[in-house]
Amino acid sequence: MYPSMSTPGSSASPKQLLDLPRVKEETPSTPTEHYSPNNLKYYNEHLSESQFNLILINCALRLLKLSYPKEQDFEEHKLRFFIVELVRRSKTTTQSLQICCYYLYKLINKNSHPVKLCPKKLFLGMLILASKFNQDHNYSFKTWLKICGCKQDDDSSSLNLKKLRESEAHCLSLLSYDLYINGKKYENWCNVLLIFGYEFISLHQVTLGVMTWCTKDENASKLCRWKKFLERMDDRSLNETKVHFKQYYANQIGTKVVTTPLPEVSLLFGKRSLAAESATNKRVCI
């Protein structure tokens, strides 16, 4: 039995987070059986759609960071904007984004071939492959270029039709042309992915619908631990073991997850009203 990561500063490893003991009692966050992993209600009832999408976007961003050496020049705010806009304009499904993140994990896990693409082109290439695998009908290269705001014959641009095809081919090569992921592996991966994303939240106030994200230093420490874990995690184990986000989440209730409002702290330097002052000075005779 492994301890859970109950506080942001805890030293629990990602493996310990995935091997949490099963909860004995059903909680309000327990998912119902008929939802699939691309539905936020599969995980619990405390996440809103915007929060769920934000966690997945952050997962993609952090997996991209782990795909490159530490010394890589990484403009996080620009890359985040690119990911959000690309997903929005292309109307990418949740399932395609989850599979795209799975391909990024495989890239980290293999760690054999250097990535010759910039982070934007790498994400675009992986997203195109995930969309093609996940959907029977998908956009053409020309449509993807329009989504990116690029022209197919513009040789001066950093992305045109030729470069987009080369990016997809390079991504296929990085994945050894293995894009397949079955139902059981997909379900387990989605649970691992959400645990990975939720680890970078320091406090989730459920009643207020507010999430507080970890600091930059905390993120760096967590990324280092997760990189080591993802590099060692056997891809085949996702077919053999069962990962439950609900177990991880239940162990965070009362620490990282707060289901009741936090107590208000009285102001030491606040001005008192005249009514409050008179009520304090009023003497009551019994």
Number of domains the chain contains: 1
pLDDT-based confidence at 1, cuts 50/70/90? Answer: very low
Q: From the centroid of its chain, how far is CA 250? A: 18
What distance in Å separates the CA atoms of residue 271 and residue 150, rounded to the nearest whole number? Answer: 58
Is 275 within the bounds of a domain? Answer: no
Q: Is the pTM of this model over 0.85?
A: no
User: What is the extent of the structural domain holding 238?
Assistant: 40-258
Q: What is the pLDDT of residues 24-41, one digit of tens each?
A: 444 444 444 578 999 989
Q: What proportion of the chain, given as a percentage, has pLDDT over 90?
A: 62
Is 1 within the bounds of a domain? Answer: no
Q: What is the pLDDT of residues 196-248, one digit of tens each?
A: 999 999 999 998 889 999 998 999 999 999 999 999 999 999 998 889 999 99
Q: Which residues contact 57 (CB under 8 A, 6 or more apart)?
A: 80, 83, 84, 87
The CATH number given to whatever domain includes residue 230 is: 1.10.472.10
Is 271 within the bounds of a domain? Answer: no
* Res 23: pLDDT: 46
* Mean pLDDT of the region 41-56: 92
* Res 24: pLDDT: 45
Is 99 within the bounds of a domain? Answer: yes
Is 276 within the bounds of a domain? Answer: no
* Res 21: pLDDT: 53
What distance in Å separates the CA atoms of residue 26 and residue 41, rounded to the nearest whole number? Answer: 15
Q: From the centroid of its chain, how far is CA 247? A: 18
Is 28 within the bounds of a domain? Answer: no
Is 22 within the bounds of a domain? Answer: no
Is 286 within the bounds of a domain? Answer: no
Q: What is the pLDDT of residues 70-81, one digit of tens each?
A: 767 778 899 999
Distances (CA, A) of 7 to 3, 170, 183, 202, 240: 11, 40, 33, 7, 29
